[in-house]
Amino acid sequence: MTISGRPAAAPQAGNSGEIVVQGVGKDYGAGAFSKCVMRNCSFTIESGKLTVMIGPSGCGKSTLIRLLAGFERPTVGEIRIDGEIVTAPGKDRLVVFQESALFPWMTSMDNILYGPRARGEMGPNTREHAGFLLKKVGLEAFRDKYPSQLSGGMQRRAELARAMINNPKVMILDEPFRGLDAMSKELMWEYYAALFEESHRTNFFITTDIDEAIYLADRLIVMTNIPMRVRTVIDLELPRPRRLADIFDNEHANDVKMTVLSLLHEEAMKSFSGGSKAASDFVEAYARRTGKGATA
Ligand SMILES: Nc1ncnc2c1ncn2[C@@H]1O[C@H](COP(=O)(O)OP(=O)(O)O)[C@@H](O)[C@H]1O
Ligand SMILES: [Mg+2]
């Protein structure tokens, strides 16, 4: 995971970090060479909630993150954070990407303290707060270890702590746990959910993993295939703090899972005719799971 964006003041209580995406479209190139990645995309990321977006690979999710972060501008439509139109990167948003950005020459503790140090914002309690965050992500015993001495999952947890210490109003995460093995992933979900439940900071989390999406989400936004728009929005009525066992035994969670799988299957089928390899794999896996035919 890499982390970008600058830190903000502590999130204010109440309506803080609400993001409204209104009629957003994004085209790359011009004329005969133009490509429409996103069309008429509208949704709200509510303040203090964990909103998860799920969509097929290549549908335009990372493109949307670049727009939310302010690295790029929409071709049409607008994105507002607490009413202000996003025109550039801002200290209110912090983006955590999948690629690791821990400095290999720094210990876990020093990596986490990097943001406050770089800004000259080391206060009397900053080190203690870093220690608290290390404990929260299960790395208390690894505070003096270097990234090469940590497992892949531990490195991601250190990244989360490193992001949290900057205290942004909104945390935006683009498939941060992709590539981890199943057991490490489940552990990550629990640590990440606990961090969210502790702060109730506005979080926007992108994934292609249905179990991850359902375990984490307050609100789940299912996207279409490219050109991307919102296919459906589902509010999950699941208790917090969340426990994995509760989710997998829960009828509501299972209903949502089948609904979302079926929608993603439909979206994959659309690009199947176009010869997409990812779509082909998904359709085959879905057919095995549900016993439905793999051809439309
Ligand atoms: N700068 C760009 N120019 C042209 N096409 C782009 C550019 N950036 C992304 N795309 C296209 O946008 C589509 C969506 O990519 P991306 O947002 O990375 O999808 P996802 O994150 O959902 O997998 C891809 O087909 C990609 O080729
Ligand atoms: Mg992506």
Q: What is the pLDDT of residues 18-58, one digit of tens each?
A: 999 999 999 999 888 899 999 999 999 999 999 999 999 89
Ligand 1, atom 6: nearest CA belongs to which residue? 28
pLDDT tens digits, 194-239: 989 988 999 999 999 999 999 999 999 999 999 999 999 999 989 8
How would residue 150 be classed by pLDDT, with cut points 50, 70 and 90? very high
pLDDT, position 293: 53
pLDDT, position 295: 45
How would residue 278 be classed by pLDDT, with cut points 50, 70 and 90? low
What average pLDDT is seen over the chain? 88
CA distance 232 to 253: 16
- 223 Cα nearest atom in ligand 1: 22
Residue 288 reports pLDDT greater than 70: yes
pLDDT, position 247: 83
CATH architecture assignment, domain 3-243: 3-Layer(aba) Sandwich (3.40)
Three-state helix/strand/coil letters over 28-97: ECCHHHCEEEEEEEEEEECCCCEEEEECCCCCCHHHHHHHHHCCCCCCEEEEEECCEECCCCCCCEEEEC
Report how far ligand 1's centroid is from the alpha carbon of 233 (Å): 23
- 60 Cα nearest atom in ligand 1: 17
3-state secondary structure of 232: strand
Report how far ligand 2's centroid is from the alpha carbon of 248 (Å): 26
The answer to whether 268 and 257 are in contact (CB under 8 A) is: no
Residue 274 reports pLDDT greater than 90: no
How would residue 105 be classed by pLDDT, with cut points 50, 70 and 90? very high
**Lining residues, ligand 1, CB within 6 Å:** 28, 35, 37, 55, 57-63, 226
Lowest mean pLDDT among 63-77, 102-116, 272-286: 272-286
CA distance readout (Å), 266 to 38, 197, 283, 295, 296: 18, 33, 9, 11, 9
Report how far ligand 2's centroid is from the alpha carbon of 143 (Å): 31
User: pTM for this structure?
Assistant: 0.87
**What are 131's two structure tokens?**
């220690």
Report how far ligand 1's centroid is from the alpha carbon of 95 (Å): 18
pLDDT, position 11: 45
CA distance 108 to 111: 5
